[in-house]
Amino acid sequence: MFKISIVDTPAQRRLVVEGKLSDPWVAELRTTCRNASRDLDGRKLVIDLNSLTVISREGEDAILDLMKEGAKFSCAGILTRHVLKRLARRCRCQP
């Protein structure tokens, strides 16, 4: 299972990612983030990984690329937080 929901507020556009981030869903995340980055009108793009249950190696690569592009992330859970911090150190970004 994989699902991405978009929640728009005046301050941010939040992409709520749920389920397993693995092939073939990695491409879907990249496409959705690219499309969501358009027309932000000064708002922040936040990728919410609170409901993510699995992150494959390809999923980690996608998250790393999004970090390098300036995306901000929100997460809960020790493992997801650890993965984000490790990736942030690799790209020298803030998670």
CATH number at residue 21: 3.30.750.24
- Number of domains composing the chain: 1
pLDDT digits (tens, 9 = 90+) for 7-56: 999 999 999 999 999 999 999 999 999 999 988 888 999 999 999 999 99
For residue 45, give both structure tokens. 């793009």
Distance of CA 68 to the CA centre of its chain: 12
CB atoms within 10 A of CB 47: 24
For residue 2, give both structure tokens. 């994989």
For residue 80, give both structure tokens. 């997801």
Q: Which domain holds residue 61?
A: 2-91
3-state class of 61 per DSSP?
helix
Pick the residue with more confidence: 93 or 11? 11
